Amino acid sequence: MHTGDLLAQFEIRGLIGSGGMGEVYRARDTVLDRDVALKILPLEWNRDPERLARFRREAKVLASLNHPGIAGIYGLEEAQDRTFLVMELVEGRDLAEIMAEGPLPLERALDIAVRIATGLEEAHRKGFIHRDLKPANIKITPDDKVKILDFGLARALVEEPAASDKLSNSPTITAAMTQAGVILGTAAYMSPEQARGKDVDERADIWAFGCILLEMLTGRAFFAGDTFSDTLASILKTDPVWDDLPAELPRGVLRLLRRCLAKDPGDRLHSIADARIELQDMSREPRTVTGHGSAGGRNGARSWAGWIAAAVLAGVAGVLAVLLLGNGPDSAALPPRLDALTYQGREWSPDVSPDGNLVVFTSDRDGTPRIWMKEVAGGGEVALTSGPDDLPRFSSDGSQILFTRDVQGNRQLYRKTIVGNQLRKVLDDAIEGDWSPDGQSVAFLRARPEIGENTVLVGIATLQSGAERILGSIEKRACYGLRWSPDRSFIAVNTTSLTGNVAETSGIHLFDAETGEVTFTAPTRWTGPYSALEWSPDGKGFIIGQSDHVIAHVTGSPSLIMEYDLAAGTMRPLFWAKLRLPKGSWGSTTLAVLADGDIVLDHQEEFAQLLRYPLGSGAPGSPEVLSTGLSIDRQPVFSPDGARLMYSSNRSGNVDIWIRDLESRQDYRLTDDEAGDWDPAFTPDGQSVLWSSDRSGNMEIWMASIDGSGARQVTRDGVDAENPTMTPDGQWIVYASGSDAKRGIWKIRPDGTEATRLAAGDYLIPEVSPDGRFALFMFIHRLDAHVKVVEIETGRILDFSVELNITQRDENLVFGRARWAPDGQGIVFIGQDEAGNSGVFLTDFEPGGVWDGSRRKVAGFDPRFTTESLGMSPDGGSLVIAALNERRTLERASHVDLKFW
């Protein structure tokens, strides 16, 4: 075709390019008076019905992709013995041209990546994959739009098999690529499965997306070789050099790149939507200087600690500059200020009266958790209830409070007048409650394990009649933070992982108060739990806090307080604070807003020290203190020879594995990856160590030599594998999986093969018996907790089951965390005594029998701390526990820039 030629109503204006699909021309539609692009099929293809059919299928595919980020198709035409597509003409430069000039600025690269992901997300949502995503197929228009071009290789994921499967008939494959084993796609951006000629799905596009993002950041097409064969070899065998990435890379981008460029599709990010959301969240986060050489993961504590320090220094410098210039600081420009409201160190769960003058809260300062009240402006504090009570909520007129009460292991809902001291039971069975805006009804959460494991019902009860209406249920999630919106529209329920699974997204379930229809929202893509939200007065938004890590109570990292616009789906960060975070299925962090816009919140700091108790007759009662300070040292385990103690700790600013030489009392850090490492265990020969880590992007089991060298991933659970323990012969590693599809106790060979589930269920923290025949594990749902035993060879769960008699809930306590006695004839486990104090019990183990209910106190049971985890020496002569302490106070944040108040 030549300039000026007329093809149907299209006047040719010039050649744009040519390739295996034919030629592409700029043209003018003389009927609709617009510029278009024509993709004209080669003449010889018109004589090939199969190729022509494939071309028509492409037109059908493209026509269904109607999105501003994808170049559209206007029609399929035939004229003058030619068949051609009429397509949107996209002006501008393609990404390949732009990147030929060097790497893109960081902000620009991430912005373009988000928009590429948005277009791909739409295509994948409709069931199509691109298969040939590359910089040359991405254009940046003069008005800065990003367009994905040429879905020429796209095929519906649900498409019926083509009439012919001859790869040489694929329109984008050149003659040089028609040999046996030919593969689709441009070589440097092909996924490993494409390079091997295997079937592909949307994860091939995710690989290509990762390649493009890496190239935008580094200016280098990493897998491109001198020859086609060199390129394929690089794709299959070579890993990117992460040190080429810019030093100011935002937190999390490296992890996203690793997950996009995992060579095994099963380990790769499964949804481009997740990549898009993560990148959008990262664009809101502060920039963090990072090293990239050895770490796949990120731990929030280290990154945020550096950012907070920088922010504090910057803020101090700014204030000093203003003062030195002779002007007092403008209060409107000041960052939020945090001041203590209470001082006992044992207060939590605040709520503010409607007039903003009173605060009610929970405190166990006198040994029993009960509801207290104080004036915001100062004055004394008075106990309102007898306890054990928690989670107070003011009614909309401020005349009553609603709260929960624990009665012999059953949580009930009560209401009480502020004046007059009238106390009434509302519901016999409710985890948590909140008032309706008119005060005539209450919303409630109710555990129903008989319906399904860890099932929670969401319902409404009318106060006058007692009639109940169930709106819906939530399964296998920790549920808390029930809040009814002021306009009566929604009842919000926070949910997070029951097991501390880093791959599970935390968020808010919004139940329609009339229909029960539920929607899920998550202001960020962090996995950490949220606080209970506080609705704005008009119900159009809320404030909420969230940690950046699901086990922030272990990492010690702070939480981001933010304001969420419900209609727009956008989040505004406000300030950082140390919040009291839910743990497992317990707890509900509370925020409340005063009349002047100040925020009242839970503040909590924790530390855990290691204590060694001598055992046996004549042993002294006082423990030896092995660690002190404000770090969280936990999960102690002895080496097989008893000479060393391994434990996890956040003392480096990150959760790592540490080892103490018990004779010299010297500690050294075994792991130093930027991801989190915990759940340590020695191998029986003492030459290697096992642990859990999220350095691959989710929790998996890792193994290394005793000096920390040669770290390698053992499991490929893909979601959550934790708490490894090895059989005495070294043949099996037993661990727990929190994946919905794999939940239970598993065993796997040390080389990562033969993964086999031993017991299916919500089971946690296994340990292999000294003779290698059994593994104990724990089951817990609120106050229902057991230590169970499974036979490793057969997977048979024994009748023997230790039932823990939990007298008081304790959100810090993992009931049933257990280990074997060295002779295998006993089990030591964490439980509660009659007074509610936590400690370690010993019970006899009978493989062929049932538990006789006997237990003997061994260590702990000190009301000053919680016994969090334990380790027993191989000779049975001593026991080490992690003694957890905490300080809880209420704080008031002033100078907060709120939009909806």
Instruction: Spot the catalytic one: 35, 94, 111, 132.
Output: 132
Report how far apart, in Å, the C-alpha atoms of 273 and of each of 34, 738, 762 are. 34, 23, 29
Q: Using alpha carbons only, what angle is made at residue 375 by residues 373 and 380, rounded to the nearest 5 degrees?
A: 75
Q: Is the dihedral of CA 541, 564, 498, 887 positive or negative?
A: negative
Residue 323: which H helix or E strand, with range? helix 300-324
Q: Is the peptide bond before 620 cis (omega within 30 degrees of 0)?
A: no
Q: Are 193 and 200 in contact (CB under 8 A)?
A: yes
Dist. CA 40–CA 501, nearest whole Å: 52
Q: Are 547 and 576 in contact (CB under 8 A)?
A: no
Q: Does residue 132 have an active-site annotation? A: yes
**DSSP-based three-state secondary structure for 242:** helix
Two tokens at 156? 């519906």
Q: Are 183 and 173 in contact (CB under 8 A)?
A: no
Dist. CA 150–CA 152, nearest whole Å: 5
Closest CA to 513 of 541, 547, 482, 475: 482
User: Bridge-partner residues for 829, per DSSP?
Assistant: 818, 841
Dist. CA 494–CA 542, nearest whole Å: 13
Two tokens at 438? 């008119």
Residue 128: which H helix or E strand, with range? strand 128-129
**DSSP-based three-state secondary structure for 394:** strand
Dist. CA 235–CA 188, nearest whole Å: 8
Dist. CA 231–CA 225, nearest whole Å: 4
Report how far apart, in Å, the C-alpha atoms of 258 and of each of 242, 263, 285, 614 are. 9, 9, 19, 47
Q: What is the identity of the amino acid at 630?
A: L
Question: What is the four-CA torsion angle of 187, 189, 192, 194, rounded to 10 degrees?
Answer: -60
Dist. CA 649–CA 657, nearest whole Å: 7
Number of residues assigned to the chain: 901
Pairing of strands 721-726, 733-737: antiparallel
Report how far apart, in Å, the C-alpha atoms of 5 and of each of 2, 9, 10, 23, 709 are. 6, 10, 8, 15, 69
Dist. CA 224–CA 634, nearest whole Å: 47
- Determine phi and psi for 575, rounding to 5 degrees: -170, 170
Dist. CA 218–CA 490, nearest whole Å: 46
Q: Using alpha carbons only, what angle is made at residue 274 by residues 268 and 279, rounded to the nearest 5 degrees?
A: 105
The b-or-e profile of 837-849 (16+ CB within 10 A means b, else e) is bbbbbbbebeeee
Q: Which residues are catalytic?
A: 132
